[in-house]
């Protein structure tokens, strides 16, 4: 349903825009590869040198609106995520611009699984309770680059290159149904894990992975109104990621002091690891909306 409505809205937009375009003429521009297009009232349709542009990731907005029909990614209530971007451009000439962008990806998943009820093992061996595992992820991506454009209608080809910088954080939080205590120093669990025999993980968190990359891109923008466009782009990204430590918080029963205690443990499983990646992308199937002024 959501896909059908999205296609229908896009078709309406293109139909309306083509109706407008029939009343436009191309101006006599000195930039032959990227001439200006004038509206029926003589107004500029395309941005020109000295103008700014600001845009957002329209795909996320569409998904959030159409998610109300019930088949969106958050319909089950077990998962929540945000994938949003803000983009800016400044035109050096009518055909070239510098650009910058910021993209945020935030995710929160919760899984509920059964585990044996330690308090009822003898009387009701089939009794179960629920452990809960929460997963959180936050990715921050920054880009800066240069673009050029060409075309002779409302459609404009956009191409150029970006430098990318990214930070990524992940965290797991575990809620255990079976309590740890003097009578049960190693309760049954079905999420998380035990370390050092009887120490179980309450949460673990990466201290932040760093990514640097360069990206070439080719895209298209469509101006459905003066100084307003929708666009998308495809790219080839070469990047390198540096992994860092994981910090775990553990709980354990101290038999000497007869009390529950916690401690932190820094694990260096992937610390210092460096991964090189070469991949194609189209900004996670994103469609952006931009306004110029």
pTM of whole model > 0.75?
no
**34 located within any domain:** no
**33 located within any domain:** no
Whole-number Å distance between alpha carbons of 70 and 62:
14
Whole-number Å distance between alpha carbons of 74 and 291:
29
Q: Is the pLDDT of residue 56 over 60?
A: yes
For residues 134 and 81, the answer to whether their CB atoms sit within 8 Å is no
**96 located within any domain:** yes
| pLDDT value of position 50 | 95
Q: Tell me the three state secondary structure of residue 11.
A: helix
| Domain encompassing residue 81 | 47-148+155-292
For residues 192 and 204, the answer to whether their CB atoms sit within 8 Å is no
- Across the chain, mean pLDDT equals 83
Average pLDDT for 98-105: 93
| pLDDT value of position 286 | 74
**31 located within any domain:** no
Q: How many CA atoms lie within 13 A of 39 on its CB side?
A: 14
What six digits make up the tokens of 221? Answer: 């923008």
Looking at the structure of the chain, the number of domains it has is 1
Q: Is the pLDDT of residue 126 over 60?
A: yes
CATH number for the domain that contains residue 276: 2.40.160
**24 located within any domain:** no
| pLDDT value of position 127 | 93
Give pLDDT tens digits for 264-292: 998 776 656 788 989 888 755 578 999 99
Is the pLDDT higher at 249 or at 58?
249
**215 located within any domain:** yes
**13 located within any domain:** no
């Amino acid at each position: 349903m959501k896909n059908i409505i999205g296609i229908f809205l896009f078709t309406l937009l293109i139909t309306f825009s083509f109706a407008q375009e029939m009343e436009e003429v191309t101006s006599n521009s000195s930039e032959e590869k990227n001439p200006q297009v004038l509206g029926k009232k003589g107004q500029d349709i395309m941005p020109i040198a000295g103008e700014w542009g600001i845009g957002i990731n329209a795909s996320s907005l569409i998904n959030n609106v159409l998610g109300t029909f019930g088949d969106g990614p958050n319909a089950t209530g077990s998962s929540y995520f945000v994938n949003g971007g803000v983009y800016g451009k400044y035109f050096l000439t009518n055909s070239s611009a510098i650009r910058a962008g910021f993209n945020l990806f935030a995710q929160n998943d919760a899984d509920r699984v059964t585990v044996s009820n330690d308090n009822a093992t003898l009387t009701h061996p089939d009794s179960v309770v629920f452990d809960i595992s929460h997963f959180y992820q936050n990715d921050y991506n920054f880009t800066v680059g240069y673009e050029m454009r060409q075309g002779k209608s409302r459609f404009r080809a956009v191409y150029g290159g970006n430098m990318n910088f990214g930070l990524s954080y992940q965290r797991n939080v575990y809620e255990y149904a079976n309590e740890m205590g003097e009578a049960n120093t190693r309760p049954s669990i079905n999420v998380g894990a035990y370390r050092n025999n009887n120490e179980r993980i309450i949460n673990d968190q990466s201290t932040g992975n760093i990514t640097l990359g360069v990206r070439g891109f080719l895209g298209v923008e469509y101006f459905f109104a003066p100084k307003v466009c929708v666009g998308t782009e495809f790219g080839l990204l070469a990047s390198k990621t540096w992994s860092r430590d994981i910090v775990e918080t553990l709980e354990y029963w101290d038999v000497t002091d007869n009390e529950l205690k916690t401690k932190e443990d820094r694990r260096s499983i992937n610390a210092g690891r460096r991964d090189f990646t070469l991949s194609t992308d189209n900004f996670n199937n994103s469609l952006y909306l931009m306004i110029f002024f």
